[in-house]
Amino acid sequence: MNTYGVKAIYLFELARTWRTLMQSIASPVLSTSLYFIVFGSAIGSQIVSIDGISYGAFIIPGLVMLTILTESTSNASFGIYMPKFSGTIYEILSAPVSAFEIVAGYVGAAATKSILLGLIILLTARLFVDYSIAHPLLMLLFLVLTCVTFALLGFLIGLWANSFEQLQIIPMMVIAPLTFLGGTFYSISMLPEFWQKVTLLNPVVYLVSGFRWSFYGSADVHIGVSLAMITLFIAICSGLIAWVFHTGYKLKN
């Protein structure tokens, strides 16, 4: 194991966060605060409660998810796309690091940023809403697994993308809509029966639901199903990344 190599990539990527502090941390925190003000206070004041939870508290897990899904994806995709774009990927490919170590460095850094961001958002939410976390360890586990999963997805997108436009297209056109439609701001039990079944095809539902369960002990989907789904997503993304490194697709000509 080339621990120095993993550490070098990991620290290099984290250093990028500090260089772009406003973009990396301040901007998502600001936009999440605006969500709390608009949805939690303005609109939420018109909704009494969902499953016995105040609307403001209900949306906290969804809002954290909304941010960490997009941030994990964009951080990891940008992290590996930039060396491809600038040509510095030659150094990574010619170094004595395995595919696992490269992924550990990039995905680890992207996931770390998102985990920190999720925790910062939870602290920020405390300024607006009073909430409690019923299962803090499970909440942390879900936070970590979700960040890792979407950082893996982002890494795949970065490997696949040929342009900055392609880099943005999946986070903007796929992940953001799925998150909004995945029960971020509502319980899927509030939907008509047909749309409830359709919504279950949305993978984000299982993430939001599981994360919400760790807060309030109740959710749209059983916690076991949520954990199984997130494990499946990790397996799919890891398998695809392993295939890319094995074949050299878009990486080694």
- CB of residue 155 vs another protein: minimum separation in angstroms? 17
**Contact code string over 73-112 relative to another protein, x by CB under 8 A:** ---------x---xxx-xxxxxxxxx--------------
DSSP string, 84-102: HHHSTHHHHHTSS--HHHH
- Looking only at the bridges linking them, the beta strands covering 49-50 and 53-54 are antiparallel
Cβ burial of 119 (10 Å; 0-12, 13-18, 19+) is middle
Interface with another protein by CB under 8 A: which range of 7-15, 135-143, 174-182, 202-210?
7-15
- CB of residue 249 vs another protein: minimum separation in angstroms? 10
Residues with Cβ within 8 Å of 171's Cβ and at least 6 positions away in sequence, in order, are 70, 73, 74, 77, 154, 157
Closer CB to another protein, residue 46 or residue 94?
A: 94
**Among candidate residues 202, 211, 212, 209, the one with its CA nearest the CA of residue 233:** 202
CB atoms within 10 A of CB 130: 9
**Contact code string over 214-253 relative to another protein, x by CB under 8 A:** ----------------------------------x---xx
Instruction: Round to whole Å and give the CA distance between 69 and 92.
Output: 26
Residue 9 interacts with another protein (CB under 8 A): yes or no: yes
Residue 22 interacts with another protein (CB under 8 A): yes or no: no
- CB of residue 10 vs another protein: minimum separation in angstroms? 10
Contact set with another protein (CB under 8 A): 2, 4-5, 7-9, 12, 15, 19, 82, 86-88, 90-98, 248, 252-253
